[in-house]
Chain A
Amino acid sequence: MSRFPTVRPGSQRRRLAQFGFVIMISLVAIVTAVVLTRPHELAAGPVGSGGGFGNAQPVDVGVPFSFAYLLETEGKEPAVLERVRVLGVTGPIQVLGVMARQHPSGPKPYAFMAAFGFPPPDYPSRSLTEEHVVRPPTAQDGTGKPYGGLQLVVGVKSTGPGIGRIRGIEFTYRVGNRRYRNSSDGKGFLCAPAAEYSFGAPKSDDCPGHLDSYAWDKRFVEFKVAASEKQ
């Protein structure tokens, strides 16, 4: 008797083919699922908003106030905002919302960083639904260099005595079909009540004082373009 099995063409070959096909499809599905669902970090991309600064203001409790961040693109295509997060919301402060304005624009065409009111009367702003595109700059500064972009206006108010603060912003956007995420660590401080933190008052030097001395909560407030706020 032969030691070798007889070759049986037909049904067994078809079963093997089906088995192999199922394995291959399963592997492709698994790999695809892993690739699509793995946590991934978005690149910063061409839009930046500076950072490494802080603005502090003595205010009274409950007074609406705005901190602003200028988003500028180094790319040639417009960038479309999808989401903004106000980061490190710490202490007696409430985030009221995020609006936007083109810079330079309006009667006071400055890159303002802090202003009373939300939206600030001196810097007319629109909702993110209406204003969410960062366009390549067209204005020119004194050296002929283009400048300008989209200014995000973050509305806040003090909710009690002490120093309420935000650590910065994170924004997600897309250029064409590609998504990016970048951030600014520009800090904002509301020192309430104003009488205790104004110059000459006992706590004046504490507003903001040494920035390194602050601890920050991880709390953030998120705003999606054309969607309601989530906290």
Chain B
Amino acid sequence: MSWKHGVVVAVLGLGLVGSPAVRADVPAPTLWAGSLVGADGRQTQAEVVAYARPAGLGLDEGSAPLREIARTRTDSAGRYVLRTLHTEALRSAEDQDGWTNVMVAAFGDDGSFNLAFDSLSWVPAGGFSAAGADGPRGERNGRWVTTPAARLAAEAGELRALSTDTTEDPAEVAKERPTTMVLSGHGEPRFTAQGVPWRKPADRNCMALLESKDLDVQYTKIGEVHAERDWGGYFVYTTTRSSSFQVGVRQAGQAWSVGGSTSSMENSRSTSTSDPNLPPGHMYHFAADMKYGWYKWRCYGNGDRWYDAESVQPYTWKGGLHQTEGGDEPRCDPAHMSPVLPNGRHVREEKQSTTYEGGVSVAGFTGSVTTTVAQGVQTEWHNLVPRERQLCGDREDIASYRPTRIRSLP
């Protein structure tokens, strides 16, 4: 190459740095990624389809439409990645807090099947406050998050959450939805028009909600204050948007299992507080009066195969707080003790999460609730005696973002 050519190439190369023309074609953001195995634990091949569904119960048959938003096939190792932009279909299914219920159906090539649920939120690149963040370009520039903690961090403008090359904590994501779905059953091989209210689709698909039932109020644990003698406390809960409730799933004739989670409610905001000075010497549990729904889904696989499955999940918060005393107390790991001074107060608030095992118990399904304490929500301990005493985490330090229950020591 002559020196002239060298100069021209160098100049053109420098001029092109950072221009859109040299950027690789960026795939749509990942909505949901995971892997599939059969009941025998072996990887399996399948077609995987994601649907969006508005919040709410949808008591009338067919009133809770499923809208297909992504479809893919597993690779040779049984892994799949569902990708989509922040499309109109997803936007129209969002609740008032920006969460969208997503259902994923996996149709195994061997006739096996399963469903999983999650709620997802779109975080525009540059943050929620960026001007035009969700304009025509915002639809493409952003990412999907599933954990309330990541959502809150993004809203707060935390750099770590806004960085496009960061991902959510895999351990936290795994709590939100199954990273490995187990496909089981083989559906009903014969397709008849009788008893099947929806027309059979051309491809593997879930057509709509087949049936739903209001399970009425189920008190669901969302917080607690362990107040030993001479410890005071306080608890406030104002929104379900930072709580993640497990969803129960079962195929016809099978047992309930955890099939993901939801944070998307029809009504999510209220203000519910405990006594501002909870009397000492009690273990307080706080439960939200959530209304649950039971849902029956019908999906169609290859050939004439079809599947019935059920799910239970909360769909709205009535706005009340139910306080009980006694029962299960947090443990203390001495490695995670922190002293509180005489007259001192310790508060847990933004972005700290706690998982309450068995917080959900409805219609035969028992699951857990992860509460990420959000703005406007706080749990407080007061040391009422003139000597230093300890608060103690059962799994982590009390200042950690990671889930831990907290015990007050005498």
Binding site for B on A (CB under 8 A): 16-17, 20-21, 23-24, 27-28, 31, 41, 43-44, 48-58, 69-70, 104, 108, 110-116, 139-143, 147, 181-183, 185-187, 194, 198-199, 205, 207-208, 210-212
Contact = CB atoms under 8 A, between A and B. Distances in A.
Contact of B346 (A27, A53, A140, A147): A53
22 contacts: A20-B3, A20-B4, A21-B7, A23-B7, A27-B10, A43-B160, A50-B401, A52-B352, A53-B349, A55-B347, A56-B344, A57-B344, A110-B390, A111-B336, A113-B338, A114-B341, A142-B335, A199-B232, A199-B343, A205-B276, A207-B345, A212-B375
Given A23-B11, A143-B333, A185-B350, 8 more contacts: A16-B4, A23-B7, A50-B401, A51-B401, A55-B345, A58-B343, A112-B338, A139-B335
A199 B341 CA distance: 13
Given A20-B4, A139-B335, A141-B336, A54 B347 contact: yes
A50 B351 CA distance: 9
A116 B341 contact: yes
Main secondary structure of the interface of B (DSSP, over half): mixed
B348 interface: yes
Given A23-B11, A52-B352, A211 B337 contact: no
Contacts of B334: 142
Contacts of B158: 183
A77 B303 CA distance: 56
Contacts of A48: 401
Interface residue range, chain B = 35 or more
Given A27-B10, A44-B159, A147-B335, A111 B397 contact: yes
B165 to A, nearest CB: 8
B291 interface: no
Given A70-B397, A112-B338, A142-B333, A52 B351 contact: yes
Interface stretch (B196-204, B322-330, B376-384): B376-384
Contacts of B167: none
A50 B7 contact: no
A108 B341 CA distance: 14
Main secondary structure of the interface of A (DSSP, over half): mixed
Interface string B389-401: 0100001011111
A140 B336 CA distance: 11
B387 to A, nearest CB: 13
B163 to A, nearest CB: 7
B289 to A, nearest CB: 23
Contacts of A110: 337-339, 390
B163 A43 contact: yes
A73 B15 CA distance: 41
B26 interface: no
B208 interface: no
A52 B349 contact: yes
Contacts of A70: 397, 399
A111 B399 contact: yes
A111 B338 contact: yes
Given A56-B344, A199-B382, A24 B399 contact: no
B343 A211 contact: no
A172 to B, nearest CB: 13
A50 B399 contact: yes
Contacts of B350: 51-52, 185
Interface in B339-385: 339-341, 343-352, 373, 375-376, 378, 382, 384
A121 B273 CA distance: 38
Closest 4 CB pairs of A and B: A141-B335, A20-B7, A50-B399, A54-B347
